[in-house]
Structure 1
Amino acid sequence: MTAPLTPVALGVDQARTRLPGFTVIDVRTPGEYASGHLPGALNIPLDHVRRALPELRDAARRGDLLVVCASGARSDTAAGLLAEHGVPAATLTGGTNAWAADGHPLDRPAACDTRAGWSMERQVRLTAGTAVLLGLVLGLLVHPTFQLLSAGIAAGLVFSALTDTCGMAVLLGKLPHNRPRATDLDATLAALRER
């Protein structure tokens, strides 16, 4: 019996030096991917990884896979799923956020641009701040129960920080202005087969 695969986590510098040898899979939503992704990355959202297993397995046989997301949480999940199916993959510690923070370029092709002019992080800050302010004002002027809205948003932000996830970003990503177009998974898988 073979030992189960364990995904390897690479730092930004390690990933950068090995980038030409990787097939990079970005598991974020299409809107997040369009806002900036590692050069040459293909977008296979996390909820489509199972469907892409045959192509990902073939790609891993031809070379190394690097799975990325915004912070590393979703890519860890994807790499774990791949490992369960015998597909070795590395992840980028800190995700595209760490990549960009180190000053490395992100591709933003015009064909994938969202209609939103603001980054997802800025949209989350605006939405959370507005909801907290609205809860406080309505709590003072209408009924104190409205302050629960502010408390709920605060609890969500704490949970988001502790788990390194953002449910509000996922919800905002579903809005029409944040969706460039649906992921053309068939085209992505065809491109993956050609690599």
Structure 2
Amino acid sequence: MSTTPAPALTPAALHRLVQEGRAPRLLDVRTPGEFRTAHIPGSHNVPLQTLIEHRAEFLPHLDGDVVLVCRSGQRAARARQTLAGAGLPDLRVLEGGVVAWETAGSPVERGPERWDMERQVRLVAGSVVLTTGLLGVFVPGAHLIGTAIGAGLTYAALSNSCAMGVLLSRLPYNRGPRADVRALIAGLRSAS
């Protein structure tokens, strides 16, 4: 992965563009479940995995006036790298993601409340470490499972990826309806 930071757009700058009627197209690359919980009005949900798998189909419908959005900016930066590698280098990332947008007092559309992916990862990892630590008192070697989880979390931080998050995003609770690539592209086309 490249260490070049993605060009960022602050929540204040984006809010100003929206108020002036010059809003860029917003692509929210979070899971459909996360998107339904809270998203920036007018944004399009194109889950990161869908964007990666179908980037060639999306490319003709995107231009430099697109801002990529996720929870904190990390998945959006990954989406930017993917699209830059496919020939679209001028995309920007919302600095701090939806969290920073909402913290700045900007409007969000809300749906049913659910836990975000980061919180789910912390719950699962913490539960496994706690359980295997307690189990290790009775079963020799059980604590090594917790050690493996710790190693995985360390790798996730260093590589800026999270295998546990990817696995959790595939659960029905997080997936929501399957992304219809044609409908997503049609939505992007009508917004341009």
Q: Please tell me whether the aligned partners of residues 55 and 86 of structure 2 are also in contact (alpha carbons under 8 angstroms).
A: no
Q: Which residue of 2 aligns with 1:98?
A: 100
Q: Which residue of 1 aligns with 2:119?
A: 122
Q: State TM-score, norm by structure 2.
A: 0.79
- CA, structure 1 residues 125+21, in 2 after alignment: closer, same or farther (shift >3 Å)? same
- CA, structure 1 residues 184+59, in 2 after alignment: closer, same or farther (shift >3 Å)? same
Give identity over the alignment, percent.
39
- What is the CA–CA distance in structure 1 between the aligned matches of 2:147 and 2:28, rounded to whole Å? 34
Q: State TM-score, norm by structure 1.
A: 0.78
- What is the CA–CA distance in structure 1 between the aligned matches of 2:47 and 2:147, rounded to whole Å? 31
Shift in Å at residue 79 of structure 1? 1.8
Alignment of 1:155-166 (within 5 A): 155-166=151-162
Q: Which amino acid aligns with 1:119?
A: D
Which ranges in structure 2 are unaligned for 5 or more consecutive residues? Answer: none
Query: CA-to-partner distance for each residue in 1:54-98, whole Å, 9 max, x for gaps?
Result: 5543442xx711111222222222223333444331111222232
How many residues get paired?
Answer: 182
Which ranges in structure 1 are unaligned for 5 or more consecutive residues? Answer: 1-5
- CA, structure 1 residues 83+161, in 2 after alignment: closer, same or farther (shift >3 Å)? closer
3-state SS of the aligned residue for 1:21? coil
Shift in Å at residue 133 of structure 1? 0.9
- What is the CA–CA distance in structure 1 between the aligned matches of 2:25 and 2:134, rounded to whole Å? 50
- What is the CA–CA distance in structure 1 between the aligned matches of 2:87 and 2:146, rounded to whole Å? 45
- What is the CA–CA distance in structure 2 between the aligned matches of 1:18 and 1:163, rounded to whole Å? 33
Q: Please tell me whether the aligned partners of residues 9 and 95 of structure 2 are also in contact (alpha carbons under 8 angstroms).
A: yes
Farther-moved stretch of structure 1 (72-81 vs 180-189):
72-81
- CA, structure 1 residues 127+90, in 2 after alignment: closer, same or farther (shift >3 Å)? same
- CA, structure 1 residues 157+35, in 2 after alignment: closer, same or farther (shift >3 Å)? farther
Q: Which amino acid aligns with 2:130?
A: L
**Is structure 2 residue 183 aligned with structure 1 residue 184?**
no
**Is structure 2 residue 144 aligned with structure 1 residue 148?**
yes
What is the alpha-carbon root mean square deviation over aligned residues? 2.6
Q: Which amino acid aligns with 2:14?
A: A
Q: Which residue of 2 aligns with 1:3?
A: none
- CA, structure 1 residues 76+151, in 2 after alignment: closer, same or farther (shift >3 Å)? same
3-state SS of the aligned residue for 2:115? coil
